[in-house]
Amino acid sequence: MKVEAWIFGINAAFFALVAPIYWLFSEDPTGTTALVMTTALALLVTFYLGFSARRMEPRPEDRPEAEIADGAGELGFFPPYSWWPLFCGLALAVCVLGVVFGWWLFIIGVGFGAVTLTGFIMEYYRGEHAH
């Protein structure tokens, strides 16, 4: 986690350096505000990762004396095939088209999206891949 904190810290320093230079050359308040907010968000992630790195024991990739075998083991749960993301994307497309063509289509898309999102979230609680 320390390496990630350093990466975000370097990004925050870069954006903090670029923001005033951008303001001096362009005098654009919108772009300057975006750069200042980018700096703030990078600092937020930096402090979170740095705080988390101090509270947890070092991972194998954080220790210079670690061996490759130290990182062995279960990496996590990787789901099998699923059709739900396709239907969630279609529901989002209907919602976006509803904003363009009429609110009635948006409401239909929200209803369709609620059903598909519930199916996507709950697919591992019943059926063949239930836990």
pLDDT at position 76, please? 77
Kindly report the average pLDDT of the chain as a whole number. Answer: 90
Report pLDDT digits (tens) over 50-97: 998 888 887 877 788 888 888 788 877 777 788 999 999 999 999 999
Q: Where are the domains of the chain?
A: 2-71, 84-122
131 vs 97: which has the higher pLDDT: 97
pLDDT at 104 over 70: yes
Residues 6+ apart with CB under 8 A from 6: none
The burial of 42, by beta-carbon neighbours within 10 Å (0-12 exposed, 13-18 middle, 19 or more buried), is given as buried
pTM, 2 dp: 0.55
User: Could you please report the per-residue DSSP string of 15-59?
Assistant: HHHHHHHHHHHH--HHHHHHHHHHHHHHHHHHHHHHHHHHHSPPP
d(CA 56, CA 2): 11
d(CA 55, CA 99): 46
pLDDT at 13 over 70: yes
Q: Which of 1-10, 35-44, 47-56, 64-73 has the highest mean pLDDT?
A: 35-44
